[in-house]
Structure 1
Amino acid sequence: MSPLISSFRIAIAAGVLSLFALPAGAAELSKELSTAVTHAGLAAGSPDLKMVQTHLHHVVNCLVGPAGAGFDSGQANPCKDQGTGAIPDAPADKQKLLLTAAALAQGGLAETDLAKAQAAATATQAAIKGAE
Structure 2
Amino acid sequence: MKTFLAKKETVQPKWYLIDAKGVPLGRLAVKAANIIRGRHKPSYTPSVDTGDFVVVINAEKVVLTGRKEEQNEYMFFSGFVGGESYRKVSLMREKHPEFIIERAVKGMLPKNRIAAKMLTKLRVFAGEKHTHEAGNPQKISV
**Structure with the largest fraction of strand:** 2
Larger radius of gyration: 1
Whether these two folds match at TM > 0.5 is no
TM-score with structure 2 length normalisation? Answer: 0.27
**Structure with the largest fraction of helix:** 1
Task: Report which structure shows greater RCO (CA 8 Å, sep ≥6).
Answer: 2
